[in-house]
């Protein structure tokens, strides 16, 4: 397998494309937005430059990685000759179902269709196609070039051969694939999201402040990042979407999103991506931090 398509040039998509391209795969990076494609390529280049400065790669490695990448605006142009498609579009079920229906109609019959979804049913996605045995979850962690884990999720009809192929492919990328079954949230988010939601509930109930909650989890539980800061980096809208999928899938009130989370997303306080979440990431705040270093 050498020819890959990645749909979506956002944070996860460009990271996935980067890792495949750096490991010698020819990658078609697809996004309907020219701005997203340019930003995605700029991010990949910046990350390669950082690796180069740390002597983790050579100039030749950087050039080869960038040469392995080709961008497309239309799905039909970017997937017609590939052996694997990895969908990394927004975590929106209607959008993903639409994309997979289209992919099934366009792609060669032997192309494997993977999704980077962090919570949506692989079986439901596969049902939009006539190749359910070739549909699988390939859930990378953010930031993709650094994080080793790939959650490999088998749908109800995913074949053993396809599962084995994707497990082996993940190892070729230097990742550690872990196979799980198809239930809402899989394993990573089934454990992570209730913890984040409980941290938000604790804040909502006035048990402790933002920094206090994160400090307890960092220093007391050896987490590299507190749950509220992590939620900001994931995106509060993404956290809410995953919790809603789990709440709907299990019909269990323990997965119901905290009202504070719902209100923050409604107010577009989404974390790092919007400049404000549980913490302030605005330019003015950055300027204050720089100034404080010299005061």
Q: Which residues are catalytic?
A: 118, 139, 151, 189
Residues 118/141, Cβ–Cβ less than 8 Å = no
User: φ and ψ at 9, to 5 degrees?
Assistant: -105, 15
**How far is it, in rounded angstroms, from Cα 162 to Cα 168?**
10
251 dihedral zone (left: phi>0; alpha: psi -120 to 50; beta): left
Could you please report the per-residue DSSP string of 91-107? S-HHHHHHHHHHHHHHS
How does strand 3-7 pair with strand 26-30? parallel
Closest CA relative to residue 10, chosen from 238, 243, 292, 172: 238
Which residues touch 75 (CB under 8 Å, ≥6 apart)?
Answer: 7, 30, 99, 102, 103, 106
Total number of residues shown for the chain? 295
Contact 152, 179 (CB under 8 A): yes
| Separate counts of helices (H) and strands (E) for the chain | 14, 8
CB 263 within 8 A of CB 284: no
């Amino acid at each position: 397998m050498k020819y890959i398509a990645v749909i979506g040039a956002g944070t996860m998509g460009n990271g996935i494309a980067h890792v495949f391209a750096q490991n010698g795969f020819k990658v078609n990076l697809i996004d309907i937005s020219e701005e997203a494609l340019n930003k995605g390529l700029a991010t990949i280049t910046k990350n390669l430059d950082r690796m180069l400065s740390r002597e983790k790669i050579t100039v030749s490695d950087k050039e080869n990685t960038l040469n392995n990448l080709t961008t497309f605006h239309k799905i039909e142009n970017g997937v017609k000759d590939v052996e694997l498609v990895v969908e990394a579009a927004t975590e929106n079920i209607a959008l993903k179902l639409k994309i997979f229906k289209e992919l099934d109609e366009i792609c060669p019959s032997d192309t494997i269709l993977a999704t980077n979804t962090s919570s949506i049913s692989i079986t439901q996605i596969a049902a939009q196609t006539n190749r359910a045995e070739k549909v699988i979850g390939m859930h990378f962690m953010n930031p993709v070039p650094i994080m080793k884990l790939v959650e490999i999720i088998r749908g109800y009809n995913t074949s053993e051969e396809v599962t084995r192929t994707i497990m082996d492919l993940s190892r070729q990328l230097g990742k550690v694939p872990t196979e799980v079954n198809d239930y809402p949230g899989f394993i990573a988010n089934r454990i992570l999201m209730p913890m984040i939601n409980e941290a938000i509930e604790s804040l909502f109930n006035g048990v402790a402040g933002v920094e206090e909650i994160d400090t307890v989890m960092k220093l007391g539980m050896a987490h590299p990042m507190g749950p509220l800061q992590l939620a900001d980096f994931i995106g509060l809208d993404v956290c809410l979407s995953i919790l809603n999928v789990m709440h709907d899938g299990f019909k269990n009130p323990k997965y119901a999103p905290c009202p504070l989370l719902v209100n923050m997303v409604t107010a577009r306080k989404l974390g790092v991506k919007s400049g404000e979440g549980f913490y302030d990431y605005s330019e003015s705040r950055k300027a204050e931090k720089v100034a404080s270093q010299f005061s």
